[in-house]
Amino acid sequence: MQLLTPAGERVASPEYDPWVGDVDDAQLRDLYRDMVVVRRIDTEATALQRQGELALWPPLLGQEAAQVASARALRSDDFVFTSYRENAVAYCRGAAPVELVSVWRAVTATGWNPYSINMATPQVVIGAQTLHATGYALGIQADGADAVAVAYFGDGATSEGDVSEALVFAAAYSAPVVFFCQNNHWAISEPVTLQTRGSLAARGSGFGIPSMRVDGNDVLAVTAATRIALDRARSGGGPTFIEAVTYRMGPHTTADDPTRYRPPAELDEWRKRDPIVRLEAYLTSRNELPDDFRAEVQAVADSTAAELRAGCIALPDPDPLSIFDHVYADPHPALEQRREWYAHYLDGFEAAP
């Protein structure tokens, strides 16, 4: 499904247009702003890693439309379970810039309290979060609420057993969960063709789950697909599987060297389908992207990046004894003793001449 061509032309679709009928130029400008800002965050975080301020960073470059448009379609009481790459989703959910990088500075295991923005701590174990979203959805269902759980995961993740088991559960209970798969064509060095010979959307269908394949670099198409899925889930129609076809324009992480495995022509091809360029072209063609607005967006992007940088550099190292915190919810005498011993051990260094 595509509503905006790579050149930024609007394609009419009797089936999907009604789902985005209310998305006017002002809303598109908001999406544009988000996309520019998250790209700036992404670039700044990459720079911070290069400068030794972050241990690692997984860029989302190229996936802005898929993440921003889907996240902006959600309600605040929906709950999101993502992988490590969904930093634009986290931004849209309300994570502060510094909260996006604190885990990558290796000073904390979570950037935020999941309940504060209704978004789980991003998952590193590939695919595991799809089960969590499914279970959360079962809870919503049991509560009789109309919120939705959303699982974000990659093309590579679809091969993990956990993801198949999540699809089985979601289908079995008609759970209000949306499986949002970003097919960015690569799982580190492995092309998506290794994970599936057909389309990833067919995975969903195979489990009896209504599935859609959308142009993930098209904000309108992603908005429509996500709204359809959310509507189905809210009205008791059960899960939906969305394959958002996009592209990882950067390395897997800052530790990766994609020149070892990726044909350069492929990247060039996808540069032409850049999601931000596309929306820019569309809005410009309608004279809806005036210079003063662009300047305002640039200013927001720059100040967000500055806030991110300052916040990141100011993040203190964890207190040594904090490593013993929160292992258990209830008191644990043996661990308390260990903490006491370790505090005593550290004191020995202070006391030493």
Partner 1 sequence: MSTLTLSKAIGAGLRRAMETDPKVVLLGEDIGKLGGVYRITDGLQADFGERRVLDTPLAESAIIGAAVGLAYRGYRPVCEIQFDGFIYPAFDQIVSQVSRMHYRTKGAVRMPITIRVPWGGGIGAAEHHSDSPEAYFTHTAGLRVVACSNPQNAYTMIREAIASDDPVLYFEPKRRYHLKGEVDLEAPLSGQSAGRSQVLVAGTDVTVVAYGALVQTALDAAAAAEREGISIEVIDLLSLSPIDYAPIAQSVRRTGRLVVAHEAALTGGVGAEVCASITERCFEYLEAAPVRVTGHDIPYPPAKAEGHHIPDLDRLLDGIDCALGRPNSRSGMGAGS
Is-catalytic flag, 332? no
Q: Does 184 bind ligand TPP (CB under 6 A)?
A: yes
Q: Which residue is nearest to ligand TPP (CB)?
A: 154
Cβ-Cβ contacts under 8 Å for 166 (sequence gap 6 or more): 127, 130, 131, 133, 134, 151, 179
Count of beta carbons in the 10 Å neighbourhood of residue 14: 6
Is-catalytic flag, 252? yes
Q: In angstroms, give the least distance from the CB of 189 to partner 1.
A: 4
**Residue 85 partner contact from ligand TPP, Mg ion, partner 1, none using kind-dependent CB cut-offs of 5 to 8 Å:** ligand TPP
Q: Does 85 bind ligand TPP (CB under 6 A)?
A: yes
Q: Which residue is nearest to Mg ion (CB)?
A: 154
Which residue in 44, 64, 155, 256 binds ligand TPP (CB under 6 A)?
Answer: 155
Q: In angstroms, give the least distance from the CB of 295 to ligand TPP.
A: 33
Choose between 158 and 223: whose C-beta lies nearer to partner 1. Answer: 158
CA distances 152 to 110, 123, 167, 210, 263, Å, are: 17, 10, 13, 17, 27
Cβ-Cβ contacts under 8 Å for 242 (sequence gap 6 or more): 70, 178, 179, 180, 181, 201, 211, 212, 214, 225, 226, 229
Q: Does 344 bind partner 1 (CB under 8 A)?
A: yes
From the candidates 248, 273, 278, 309, which is the catalytic residue? 248
Q: Does 85 bind partner 1 (CB under 8 A)?
A: no
Please state, in angstroms and rounded to a whole number, the distance separating the CA atoms of residues 145 and 289.
39
Is-catalytic flag, 132? no
Q: In angstroms, give the least distance from the CB of 96 to ligand TPP.
A: 23
CA distances 266 to 163, 244, 273, 274, Å, are: 28, 18, 11, 13
Q: In angstroms, give the least distance from the CB of 304 to ligand TPP.
A: 23
Please state, in angstroms and rounded to a whole number, the distance separating the CA atoms of residues 327 and 185.
37
Residues 273-312 that bind ligand TPP (CB under 6 A): none
Pattern 114-133, ligand TPP, x by CB under 6 A: ----------xxx-------
**Residues making contact with partner 1 (CB under 8 A):** 55-56, 84, 103-109, 124-127, 156-157, 159-162, 187-190, 194-195, 255, 260-261, 317-318, 320, 322-324, 327, 333-335, 337-338, 340-342, 344-345, 348-349
Active site residues per annotation? 248, 252, 261
